[in-house]
Each structure stands twice: as C-alpha cells, then as structure tokens.
Structure 1
Amino acid sequence: MSFTEMKELTKKNQEFIHIATNHLIQAGKSDAEIKELLEEIIPVILEKQKTGVTARSIYGAPSEWAASKTASPAESDQQPLNENPWLMWLDSSLLLLAIIGLVNGAMNSFGVGANYGIITLLLIGFGVGAGMYMMYHFVYRDQVKTGKRPSLLKALGFLVLATLAWSFVFFLAALIPSSINPTVTPTVAIILGAVAFGSRHLLKKKYNIRNAMQPMP
C-alpha cells in the first residue's frame, strides 16, 4: 500500500480505509498484518471506484470487514445480523407486546392496572415498535456501521419526536370504541404476551434479526 494509492482513493473510500485501519489496530493487528490486509483490497477498490462503486458496497461496513479479519474461526462462521426493516420492526413490536401483555396481565390478576382492549394492545405494541425501529434507523444505524456515536443533539431530537409519536399512538388507542375493541382478561393478556415472546424467539432464531433496541453488537 503506497501513499500514491491512498491519494487516488475517493474521500468515501479513504474514510473506509481509515475506519477499517483503526478497527484493525484496536484488534491488536501488527503494522505488517494491516499492510498485508489493505494491500489485498485497495487495488480492487481503486478499480471499482472508476465505475462509481464504493468500498462499502464491495465489503460492507468497514467495522464489519475488519471484524471478519480478526474474528476467531468460530466467530467467522456466524451469520451477519439481519437488518431487514420489516423484520426489525416485527422483532421490536413482538418484544413490546410480550412485555405489555405479561405485565398488564399480571397486574390485573391482582386488581391493579388498566384493562386494555385487544386492538389497543396490538396498536401500542406495533406502534411503539415502529418508533423503536425509527430511532435505530435514523440515530443509531451509523453507530453500528462506523463505531461513531451519534451527536447528542440528534439523539435528543429524535427521542422527543419518538415520545410525541408514542403519545399519539396511546391517544389513538384510547379513541377506539369498545364495541370493536373487547377488553382482554388477565389470562388472555398473559397468553398473548407469552405467544408474542415465543414468536419473537423463533423468528430471531430463524432469521438472526438485529435488535433495534440494542444497536451496538
């Protein structure tokens, strides 16, 4: 790897190499090992960037590429986390539905807490789940890719927006007429929570879904 080759890289590709190098250093790779690894990919990046293809498009996030070069054989066999938006939203929604159902059912068994309707529970679970995915997508996704923490102002701004959106979801839930929103008994709420928890576990095991509420690996 020469200085000339680095200068020929676009700014985006230079940033990829810089971030990847930092991750390799943190992983304990020697200068010689890092040089050897980068010499394998820089010629490819230089060739591909002529057609507008970036290093990220070829190798994925720099942190993930570096991790693939430093992982143990057992870790290398692990599949990358699935970031399909619909699956991540479903994963968050099922987790929240499980928590709400189990907690609400347990509390109502002792005569405390509010009795929710079935549509209310589903609306809250999937509505707040969507908000959790939006927080990941707009705030924490870059942290996962590059290791850089989001700015405090950006995080607080989206948190305020998410809180307002969640409040609106609860407001809408309260407007649903009881004629189409039958009240859930404590037993049914607990069963619903258990089913949601079990379904999430099976989906996560099958599709290896990234948890939007725990963005850092």
Structure 2
Amino acid sequence: MEEVQVNSTLSKKEENSTLIKKLTKKNEQYMMSLNKALVERNVPETKKEELVNEMLHNLVERQRSGETARQLYGTVTECADKIVAKPTKEQEGPSENWKIALDGGLMIGGLFSIITGLSGLFNNVEGSSLGLITTLLNFIAGGLVILWISKNMPDRKNPKKGGMFRYILVSTVGMLSLMIVMTGSMMVIPPIVNIPLNAISNIIIGALAFVAKYFAKRKLNIRGGLF
C-alpha cells in the first residue's frame, strides 16, 4: 500500500496542495466546492487550512476502500454548516483587545454622531456642537472605554474576576471619562481646527460607522464586546 508522506516542514496550504492531487476526481471536486463554501462563510484562513488538511489525510486513506467524501462528510453544504457551527478553542474566548476596541469605538462613535445629527436636524441648527476632531476622539475614546468595561464584566464562572459593584463603578467612570473628552475637546480645540459638522454630515458618519461595525464584527468574528 502507498503511504501518504508529506514533508513536515511544508505549510498546511502547501501540504494540502500536495494531498489534493492524490484524490479521485470526485473527491477532488468535493474538496474544491467545500473550500469555496468555507470562504463564503468567512471561516478564518488558518482554521480552514487545518480542517481541510485533516479531511484530506482521511480521504486519501479511506478512498482506497472506495469511500467518497460525500459518504464520509455528507453534502458540501452540510459539511460546511457543521464546521461553522462547531466551536473551537479560539472561538470560545473573547477576541483580541484591538478587535473589541474597534467594535466598541464604531458603536459609540456612530451613536454619538447620529444623535448629534438628528438633534441638529430637528432643531434646525446649521452646525452641530461636535467638531471633526471631537467626533474622531469619540470613536477612539469610545473604543477604549468599551474595552475597559468589557474586561470588567462580572463572570459567573469566576466570581473572583470582579463583581457587579466593580462593573458599575468602571462603567460609570468610563462613560464620565468619555463625556469629559468630548466636552473638553470642544472647549479647548478652536473651531478653526475642530471644524464643525452639519447635521447631515453627522448622520452620514454615524450610519457609515454602524455599517462598518456590522461588517467588521462578521468578518473578524469579534467576540467579548458589549454589543
């Protein structure tokens, strides 16, 4: 019997390219379709290559006895759905700090922009009370505050991590800090630098921020934030 021997120094992607050549035409087409389905479902490249590598090793061995990928793993759609639904160690914990901050910043910054824009629109105010620099600071400070709050959320499985009182205190201090940054920047930075934005501009910025948040959360698989 032919043994599957692949240089251990090869990357998973290179190893997969070698293994797929050992498949029957039917199994090769199945794996190509599965790869496309996983890409469409936004499965991270590293995870995808590892899963495909494991399946390829199994297929090369099992196809010798006449078994097909469809018999082993079901239809391409069924297999892809199972892979996406199955949690991994990476998916069980929170995302990296920068991802949580990005998600929170887009949420807070977008919310402030929309509220300010709607307020200016309904009150017929030509320039909003928030300037361009203040708006930018809202996104940055908002992300840092949300990250800080999320890191201090009560954990029922680990009570020593922090209780509800700590969470409320951190949340209060965090939001007050955000308000100080916002009002302070408006008072300190002159309008010639902190260019006033009209109501429509604020609404557009807020809407774009929420759209960006939606796609970032989906594409980066952000976990552990507040929203």
- Tell whether the structures are fold-level matches, with TM greater than 0.5: yes
User: Which residue does 1:199 correspond to in 2?
Assistant: 212
- Separation (CA, whole Å) in 1 of partners of 2:145 and 2:206: 20
Runs of 4+ in 1 over 6 A off after TM superposition: none
* 2:100 alignment partner AA: M
Cα offset, 1:107, TM superposition: 1.6
- Separation (CA, whole Å) in 2 of partners of 1:110 and 1:168: 25
Q: Residue 101 in 1 paired to residue 113 in 2? A: yes
- Separation (CA, whole Å) in 1 of partners of 2:87 and 2:175: 39
Cα offset, 1:165, TM superposition: 2.2
Query: Cα 1:162–1:112, aligned 2, differ >3 Å: closer, same or farther?
Result: farther
What's the secondary structure of 1:191's corresponding residue? helix
- Separation (CA, whole Å) in 2 of partners of 1:202 and 1:74: 17
User: Which residue does 2:180 correspond to in 1?
Assistant: 168
Structure 1 regions of 5+ residues with no counterpart?
1-71
Structure 2 regions of 5+ residues with no counterpart?
1-81
Contact 1:92–1:211 (Cα < 8 Å) also in 2:
no
Pairwise mapping of residues 15-54 of structure 1 onto structure 2 (< 5 A)?
none
The TM-score with structure 1 as length reference comes to 0.55
What's the secondary structure of 2:195's corresponding residue? coil
Contact 1:117–1:181 (Cα < 8 Å) also in 2:
yes
* 1:179 alignment partner AA: I
Contact 2:132–2:197 (Cα < 8 Å) also in 1:
yes
Query: Percent of counterpart pairs with the same letter?
Result: 20
Query: Cα 1:105–1:74, aligned 2, differ >3 Å: closer, same or farther?
Result: same
User: Which residue does 2:146 correspond to in 1?
Assistant: 132
Query: Cα 1:194–1:163, aligned 2, differ >3 Å: closer, same or farther?
Result: closer
What's the secondary structure of 1:143's corresponding residue? coil
User: Which residue does 1:41 correspond to in 2?
Assistant: none
The TM-score with structure 2 as length reference comes to 0.53
Q: CA RMSD in A?
A: 2.8
Q: Residue 75 in 1 paired to residue 85 in 2? A: yes
- Rg (Cα) greater in structure: 2
